Amino acid sequence: MSALTQDIEIINKLGLHARAAAKFVSLASTFSSDVDVEKNGQRINGKSIMGVMMLAAAKGSFITLHIKGDDSQSCASALENLINNRFDEDE
């Protein structure tokens, strides 16, 4: 079982708002790996919509993904792509 840590900048205009958080949690939940998200020392379950929204990650902020499990690499890649594609939003 592998574990990895990855820092990612939130680049979409509205940050990790409700719709973006829902997409993040929905995607993270498709993987068996444990997903934690950390921002400014606060670490939450990345498969919890309330937890992700509590981070209040605005545009320009950095989050750290902590992913542990058999599919950690594919999970990290998928979440990174979602964030870098601005959660499929226009801005």
pLDDT tens for each residue of 55-65: 999 999 999 99
Which of 9, 1, 2, 3 minimizes the C-alpha distance to 66? 3
Catalytic residues: 17
What confidence tens digit (pLDDT) does each residue in 9-37 have? 999 999 999 999 999 999 999 999 999 99
> What are the Cα distances from residue 23, in Å, to 58, 73, 83?
16, 19, 10
d(CA 77, CA 56) in angstroms, rounded, equals: 22
Domain 2-88: give its CATH code. 3.30.1340.10
* Domain segments of the chain as ranges: 2-88
Q: Band of the pLDDT at 90, cuts 50, 70, 90?
A: confident
d(CA 36, CA 89) in angstroms, rounded, equals: 23
pTM: 0.95
Q: Band of the pLDDT at 2, cuts 50, 70, 90?
A: confident
Which pLDDT belongs to residue 91?
78
